[in-house]
A and B are shown apart, each in its own frame.
Chain A
Amino acid sequence: MVFNSLIFIFCFLPISVLLYRFLPSQFLKNIVLFVLSLLFYAWNEPYYVLLLLLSIAWNYISGLQLMQEEDERQRKINFWLSVAVNLLILGAFKYTNFLLGIVGLEGFDITLPVGLSFFTFSALSYLADVYKGTSPAQKNPLYLGLYIAFFGKITSGPIAFYHDMEHQFSYHPFQKEMFYSGILLFVKGLIKKALLADQFALVFSSLSQNTSMLGAWLYALSYMLEIYFDFSGYSDMAIGISRMFGFDLKPNFDHPYVAVSVQDFWRRWHISLSRWFRDYVYIPLGGNRHDYVRNILIVWFLTGLWHGANWTFILWGLYYGAFLLLEKFVLRPILEKLPRIVGHLYTLVVVLIGWVFFCSPSIMDAFGTIGRMFHFAELVNTEALFVLTGHLVLFIIGILLSGTLFDRIEERLMQVKGNRMVLAFTVLYLVFFGISIAFVVGSTYQSFLYFAF
């Protein structure tokens, strides 16, 4: 089941909210939420619910072992063994065919369990927190089950850290303010997905064969905007759903396309994943205290690999690692002296080219597209011009909404006009919600891009 389907919006979510709202005890609320999460997960691929349950069981027992073991050496062995099995599951499903392909063997007919990378990283966060002593082991399997499997975040995150959520499971009552802010965030996310991401997906698709320079730039730009509105829209919906059920998840995006450096971009894009790698890989490796270059390259190799079993993702990760090193050792002092707009433009170009690697089926295709972006012999053709003129308004709206302009206007109007604007914005969001539903009903079904990871 996906958040932008009619069955989820008009059936699964309202029923879940009503049950959560009116069940008498927190224990019953948690039981029902866990069962609903399993149902949500089983909707398309029931078999993998077993995998999810076994993963929860494995990590629950591992946590208890880590808590009970007093011998530090044995504790370390237990921890790494527990981590290894999580990585074995992830590796078996996600990377087997990639590795077989490298050595020229035929791959297996494996369906990747939805959200595997996300729930495995949640489980690893739990194990690491218990091992480091940041959090005690969870004695209630239901709480750990909810942490790993809660339907609001299992398919594409955000990857909530265990220590951020551990106190929320025992007490997350229905709170009106949180509930309404959750609905608002969910609607904003749906609007981003249905009215923007899915429309940019159509533009992206129509330009895939275009040979002109303008066509190549529009192709990359449409993907850049599609993936932002798709994933940040999904994240808004996920955080909104979590709030409806009393869980407080941290933001996953902070207007990444206004960043003034690559480092700044990664503080704003998929924040939960960056934090995860920083806290559980980069810092334990030594951070910037020693072997900085090695640590950065390892982290960004793994970040690329996490996104998918393809050389394009690995190259994409290393590409960012290289730019972060370049900024650290060369560019930062130069960018600091220049106007902010220079850093902003530099970041946008780096990110735009990065997305070309990300969206291309192979490295050759990626370089083909980048080549066309600088192919001055064919600046423009009829098809590219047609797409540009036909979608100019969409591009302008997309660019404006990906920045902070709309948020600033909304904030300012709320400050100046007060409660009158609450009503106006409620009506506005209701209208756009209605339009989004019409698009969901009428348009081709588009899954979320990050479901693939």
Chain B
Amino acid sequence: MKYGLWAAKGVVFLLLIILILNVFSGPKMSKEDFGVVLSKVQENLDLSALLQQDNQAIRKNLGLDPEAYERIAYFKIDDVMQANEYVLVQFKDPDQKNAFQQAIESRIAEQTNLYDGYAPDQVQLLKQAVVDIQANYALYVVDTNAKTMDEQFLESL
């Protein structure tokens, strides 16, 4: 009985180690400064029509709590007829990724409903939206430059 318990404990310990190692085998977090990543994302692109929004707009439009994140920047076009916007976020903890992804998916769905029927070009733009979530950074873009911005985002990390 005594040795049986030790053997059972050994198996449980081994399984615990495998589980932990599996979690730790994922990608590492970027130590790049938020400002540097943001500049690289915007590099060589004319994004002057998209203006930086305040915390209240982040809450209202994206359903995100800006205080919960290490850093977050939200840019949006000042024209209700267009859906262009982008968000760069640095997570405090990687476990914020799911909530961020859900919020962005809701935002895309809401915007698609909004423009559906009268602005098919904006719906198309929303269909091509980029949501790229890395270890501790994420980018969401609705813009014709979305792919370029995403490439620059990945390079910057």
Contact = CB atoms under 8 A, between A and B. Distances in A.
Contact of A64 (B5, B93, B97, B98): B5
B27 A109 contact: yes
A201 interface: yes
20 contacts: A47-B23, A61-B5, A61-B8, A62-B9, A65-B2, A65-B6, A93-B23, A96-B24, A107-B29, A108-B28, A111-B94, A111-B97, A111-B98, A202-B59, A205-B56, A205-B59, A208-B55, A208-B67, A361-B92, A446-B65
B28 A106 contact: yes
B35 interface: no
A182 to B, nearest CB: 29
Interface string B19-47: 11001101111110000000000000000
Interface string A26-65: 0000000000000000001101001100110110011011
A447 B64 CA distance: 11
B1 A68 contact: yes
A117 B16 CA distance: 17
Contact of A201 (B30, B65, B70, B98): B65
Interface of A: 44-45, 47, 50-51, 54-55, 57-58, 61-62, 64-65, 68-69, 85, 89, 92-93, 96-97, 106-112, 201-202, 204-206, 208-209, 359, 361, 444-447, 452
B135 A109 contact: yes
Contacts, number: 102
Contacts of B2: 65, 68-69
Contacts of A209: 55
Given A108-B24, A108-B28, A61 B98 contact: no
Nearest to A451: B95
A58 B94 contact: no
A208 B12 contact: no
Interface of B: 1-2, 5-6, 8-9, 12-13, 15-16, 19-20, 23-24, 26-31, 55-56, 59, 63-67, 70, 92-95, 97-99, 135-136
> B-side binding surface: helix, strand, loop or mixed?
helix
B16 to A, nearest CB: 5
Contacts of B6: 65
B29 A54 contact: no
Contacts of A445: 63
B31 A106 contact: yes
Given A89-B20, A106-B28, A106-B30, A204 B67 contact: yes
A110 B5 contact: no
A58 B24 contact: no
A124 to B, nearest CB: 16
B67 A61 contact: no
Contacts of B67: 204-205, 208, 359
Nearest to A107: B29
B16 A85 contact: yes
Contacts of A111: 23, 93-95, 97-98
B9 A65 contact: yes
Given A44-B98, A58-B13, A89-B20, A205 B5 contact: no
A206 B12 contact: no
A65 B95 contact: no
Pairs of residues from A and B, 7 with the lowest C-beta to C-beta distance, nearest first: A109-B135, A111-B95, A109-B26, A106-B28, A107-B29, A444-B63, A57-B12
A444 B65 contact: yes
Contacts of A359: 67
Contacts of B26: 108-110
B156 to A, nearest CB: 15
Given A58-B9, A62-B9, A208-B55, 18 more contacts: A45-B95, A50-B15, A54-B15, A58-B16, A61-B9, A65-B9, A96-B24, A106-B29, A108-B23, A108-B135, A109-B27, A110-B94, A112-B95, A206-B55, A208-B66, A361-B92, A444-B59, A444-B63
A107 B28 CA distance: 6
Contacts of A110: 23-24, 26, 94-95
B92 A92 contact: no
B66 to A, nearest CB: 6
B93 A112 contact: yes
Given A54-B15, A209-B55, A92 B27 contact: no
Contacts of A55: 16
A58 B30 contact: no
A205 B9 contact: no
Given A108-B24, A361-B70, A54 B16 contact: yes
B12 to A, nearest CB: 5
A377 B150 CA distance: 44
A206 B30 CA distance: 29
Contact of A205 (B8, B23, B66): B66
A338 to B, nearest CB: 37
Contacts of A108: 23-24, 26, 28-29, 135
B30 to A, nearest CB: 7
Contacts of B31: 106
A199 to B, nearest CB: 12
A205 B65 contact: yes
A447 B30 CA distance: 26
Given A85-B13, A109-B136, A204-B67, A54 B19 contact: yes
A51 B20 CA distance: 9
Nearest to A447: B99
A205 B59 CA distance: 9
